[in-house]
Structure 1
Amino acid sequence: MLKSVKKSRGLFILVIFIGGILGNFLGEFISNNLKSLEIFKIVYNIGLTNPIHLNLKIVEITFGMNFNLNIMSIVGVILAIILYRRY
């Protein structure tokens, strides 16, 4: 019974990422083609601007993550959550 809970969480996270990616593509498409809608041009950058580099002489590790959010990517995530719960 625990495996099905883990699968549904993994699927839930995957659906959220897909919704965000599709929303981001749609937001960029709208902002590039419809110049009058300036609200879609606003992009929020969340994360590290420069990755953290750790050199241990034997191993070098680089950490970094950056999220670029626009209005449509947030709408895509919300729609993905609604569709996941409904179906």
Structure 2
Amino acid sequence: MKTSSKRGSSTSKGMGMMALFLITGAVVGGILGELAASSSLLSGIAPYLIKPFPIFDLPPVAIDLYVVKFVIGFALYPNLMSILGIIAAIILFRRF
């Protein structure tokens, strides 16, 4: 008889789904912020909605293996709308 161990599978699935929700919320919030910036109704507060906040910036590092060259870097500059999108994603994740 085979017994399948499902230890940790629900936790890893929950964490993966949470990461997907957070990334989706940040992207959708950023897109909505850019759309709000082009709207004439929100022109007064639009600069505050799309102003980026530098949180993390890792400059690009080149790894040359003579056959293949990799350039790796990472930067995180969310704006207010993407932060609001992340908060909405957390609320939706907990609700569903």
> What's the TM-score bracket when you normalise by the shorter of the two chains?
0.7 to 0.9
Which residue number corresponds to residue 33 of structure 2? Answer: 27
Instruction: For residue 64 of structure 1, report the CA deviation from its aligned partner.
Output: 1.4
1:7 aligns with 2:38: no
- Aligned residue identity for 1:16: L
Distance 1:3 1:18 in 2: 22
Which residue number corresponds to residue 18 of structure 1? Answer: 24
Change (3 A) 1:12 1:41: closer
Name stretches of at least 5 consecutive residues in structure 1 with no aligned partner.
none
Instruction: For residue 13 of structure 1, report the CA deviation from its aligned partner.
Output: 0.2
Q: Percent identity?
A: 31
Name stretches of at least 5 consecutive residues in structure 2 with no aligned partner.
1-5
Instruction: For residue 57 of structure 1, report the CA deviation from its aligned partner.
Output: 2.4
TM-score by length of 2: 0.76
2:79 aligned to 61, 70, 73, which one? 70
Q: How does 1:39-50 map to 2 (within 5 A)?
A: 39-45=48-54, 46-48=56-58, 50=59
Larger mean Cα displacement after TM superposition, 22-31 or 63-72: 63-72
Structure 1 residues 24-82: Cα deviation after superposition (integer angstroms, max 9, x where no partner): 0011111121322131231124423x521111324422111223311010000011111
Distance 1:79 1:35 in 2: 23
Larger mean Cα displacement after TM superposition, 11-20 or 34-43: 34-43
Distance 1:44 1:12 in 2: 23
Instruction: For residue 9 of structure 1, report the CA deviation from its aligned partner.
Output: 0.7
Cα root mean square deviation, aligned: 1.7
